[in-house]
A and B are shown apart, each in its own frame.
Chain A
Amino acid sequence: MRATIAIFIDAYRELNSRKLFWVVLLISLMVVGMFACLGIDSRGFTFLHWSIGVGFINTAVMSEAVFYKQFLFTELGVKFWLGIIATILALVSTASIFPDLVSGGSIELVLSKPISRLRLFFTKYAAGLLFVTLQVGVFSVGSFLVIGFRGGVWEPRVLLAIPIVVLFFSYLFCVCALLGLLTRSSIASLLLTILIWFVVFILSASQTGVTVMRSMAEERVRLLEEDIARRERELERLQGVEQAPSLAAVGNSILVASKVSRLEDRRKRLPGAKSALRNVIWIDRGMRGVKAVLPKVSDTKDLLERAILTTEERERLIRDAEREMSSIDMGGDDEEIRVDMGKVQRQAIERKYANPVWWIVGTSLAFEAVVLGLCAWVFCRRDF
């Protein structure tokens, strides 16, 4: 235990000696300060006592609580600042931990101590996460106070950002640790980690896109089938009407012919739509399979949104997104079988929320466990 405490104290001293740690902490505090200065009223944004009128965001669109919790804290603070900028800075600060540990002249000093390599590795790893924990801790506590004082809502679930962001960072840090052990280079491990992060992000974004396409294809098949069924019933009704030869009968037969033609057109389209749906389902399953073994970086960050927004607040956000997307006209089709993008958007969001937390966290932690297992194997078996 004495050795473990010493490694943690050393990690703090190391962080303390790095200017970047204090720079990031300072910027975090400035971001929180900026949040405190921002607000909304009936006209738009406010900055201190100035009001800036904008149409798309005001108290009619969202409440002050949602503005602070969802817009400022979750979207800007966590997803953008902590999730991207601060994460990159944290990786820059921590990328050298393992290359420094295994560098010649340094590793001999620690490996020759009565501490097992496994314990040494995992203690160093945990100490590396200390960086992000302190950063997110300061940011989240600051944001909690801002949301409380400015938004009027004392929301302790905001502090869930600490474990969620640390969890998200740990997915990247374990990759960085493995690359650091293999390459012994801070720069190489940093750049490769960011590259892998980018690839995972692209795969995740592509999978989301494919999910939207799947919803569109499903909706299109459903609309076609419903339209065909409706037309068949209508045609049956028209053909069932016994009429004496007359002008009306001629008109009716022309109408029937027209309906038959439309029906045949729909029937011709249906196999193509079903085939497209089958294809997109296969692609979606394939991408879900690939995504299952990778860390869910975006989904993990979205967990915070799930945690801090009430059901009503979330439903309102979905409705807004649905309304926004409904205005998009995909064109091409007749009105009866035109896909409503708003509905597709709602399905995509609901499908995203339908992913259970255990699946998001569990599969990501499984990835992390595998990578850390590899790290431990490399570290314990290597001759230095």
Chain B
Amino acid sequence: MPAPVATGAAARFDGEWVIDVRNVDKQYKSGLLGRGRVHALRGIDMRVHRGSVFGLLGPNGAGKSTLVKILMTVIRATRCDGTFLGAPVGDKATLRRVGYLPEHHRFPDYLTAAQVLDFYGALSDVPRADRRRRSRELLELVGLTNWSDKKVRVFSKGMRQRLGIANTLMSDPDLVVLDEPTDGVDPVGRRDIRNILARLRDERRTVFLNSHLLSELEMVCDRVAILVQGVVSSQGTIEELTRHSRRYEIEVGQESPAAVAAAVSSLSMNVPLSVSGAIVTIRTDDPTAIQPALDALRARDVVIRGVRPARASLEDLFMQAVTDPGTGRAIAPGAASAARGEAGNAAREGLGIETGARS
């Protein structure tokens, strides 16, 4: 990765909130005469801090792409208050400072990689000299230098995705919005994309990431929001969202289960404690709170094989958010229903998550 991501940002956005939207609502008309209504988004509140990497996740049909498209003026919201890079949502001039990679994007296949960057750069009002220079730098950044004069039609899906990433950076943007950026990219490419995201964050650029790959989001995101059936199910830093699931797991030897049971029953701790096979779980994030348990186990000569802090993964959070606690099944994809509101609330209560949390 030898080349710089971008140079010479002129008038950078210096506000605190890159995205600060409230009551984002979208209803689609349906049916032959348009009398039917599909409620895709139901009053979303979302704030994205400048310089952060923000992850938006949710099941298919949750409204993630609709929300992104509203911000990018591809879809008109039924209602949307607040600002996007300091201007009202829908302001075209603001888009000069945004790089956007849509999901399943399709570049004109008669263009070469360099021409793609030149064309979309010109649409973003980037001067010609800058386009030429940046085009070279960005193609090098995404590893397509030797393909700059090749037509896009011969590119593999992964190469198109790399080109798409380069394209989002052409206008030297304050905000980069990526919809499934690692879709179709091999592991090496994914690592490269993660590195690019890290560099963007280091340059105090904001990244808004929409992805199904939860492990990847976990690796790069400062904050996440989980969208389920058109509402924000939970929102916050991964630290905040997993606070209630933090625990210590003590792995013990299997030689004397009776001694383990005796040690556990002798404890009078004010944090929840459970035993499952060779694992004793203590629900706390305070290391001093587990010392009495360790002492009790050791007093009964129980072998302690290991002690490790643990918390719910993003995938655990996601699965809990999209599971109906009443039925234990995944909530049906698509727009919200009346029943979903209750189920979603119950799920959030189960997780102890703040709804639509404002940071």
Contact = CB atoms under 8 A, between A and B. Distances in A.
Interface of A: 2-3, 5-7, 9-10, 13-14, 16-17, 103-116, 381, 383-384
Shortest 8 CB-CB contacts between residues of A and residues of B: A6-B122, A17-B110, A105-B106, A108-B102, A113-B123, A112-B72, A383-B75, A112-B100
A377 B118 CA distance: 30
Contacts of A2: 122, 125, 127
17 contacts: A2-B127, A6-B123, A13-B108, A13-B111, A13-B115, A14-B108, A16-B110, A17-B110, A107-B74, A108-B72, A109-B120, A112-B102, A113-B124, A114-B124, A115-B92, A116-B92, A384-B75
A2 B130 CA distance: 13
A105 B92 CA distance: 19
B105 interface: yes
Interface in B77-111: 92-96, 98, 100, 102-108, 110-111
B115 to A, nearest CB: 7
A128 to B, nearest CB: 15
A377 to B, nearest CB: 13
Contacts of A111: 72-74
B76 interface: yes
Nearest to B126: A2
Nearest to A15: B110
Interface string B55-85: 0000000000000010011111000000000
Given A2-B122, A108-B72, A110-B123, 15 more contacts: A5-B122, A6-B118, A9-B119, A13-B108, A14-B108, A104-B104, A108-B105, A112-B98, A113-B95, A113-B124, A114-B94, A115-B123, A116-B92, A383-B74, A384-B69
B11 to A, nearest CB: 14
A108 B110 contact: no
Contacts of B100: 108-109, 112
Given A108-B69, A109-B107, A114 B96 contact: yes
A122 to B, nearest CB: 15
Contacts of A107: 74
A10 B74 contact: no
A106 B13 CA distance: 28
Contacts of B123: 3, 6-7, 110, 113-115
A7 B100 CA distance: 19
Contact of A105 (B73, B102, B119): B102
B106 A103 contact: yes
Given A2-B122, A108-B69, A114 B75 contact: no
A116 B92 CA distance: 7
B28 A383 contact: yes
A105 B105 contact: yes
Contacts of A114: 92-96, 123-125
Contacts of A383: 28, 69, 74-76
B113 to A, nearest CB: 14
A6 B102 CA distance: 21
A99 to B, nearest CB: 13
Contacts of A6: 118-119, 122-123
Nearest to A113: B123
B181 to A, nearest CB: 14
A57 to B, nearest CB: 46
Contacts of B125: 2-3, 114
B102 A14 contact: no
B90 to A, nearest CB: 11
Nearest to A105: B106
Interface in B145-179: 167
B267 to A, nearest CB: 58
Interface in B287-340: none
A112 B73 contact: yes
Given A10-B108, A13-B111, A104-B104, A113 B74 contact: no
Contacts of A7: 123
A2 B119 CA distance: 10
A112 B89 CA distance: 12
Given A111-B74, A112-B102, A13 B120 contact: no
Contacts of A106: 105-108
B122 A3 contact: yes
B18 to A, nearest CB: 16
Contacts of B122: 2-3, 5-6
B29 to A, nearest CB: 10
Contacts of A17: 110
A16 B115 CA distance: 14
A271 B182 CA distance: 85
Contacts of A10: 108, 111, 119
Interface in B112-140: 115, 118-120, 122-125, 127
Nearest to A380: B76
Contacts of B107: 106, 109
Contacts of B96: 114
A5 B122 CA distance: 8
Nearest to A116: B92
Contacts of A113: 95, 120, 123-124
Nearest to B70: A383
B102 A109 contact: yes
A109 B101 CA distance: 8
A10 B109 CA distance: 12
B95 A112 contact: yes
A108 B120 CA distance: 12
Contacts of B92: 114-116
Nearest to B128: A2
Nearest to B112: A13
B72 to A, nearest CB: 4
Most buried by A among B28, B72, B94, B167: B72
Contacts of B75: 383-384
Nearest to B124: A113
Contacts of B28: 383
A1 to B, nearest CB: 9
Contacts of B76: 381, 383
A127 to B, nearest CB: 13
Contacts of B119: 6, 9-10
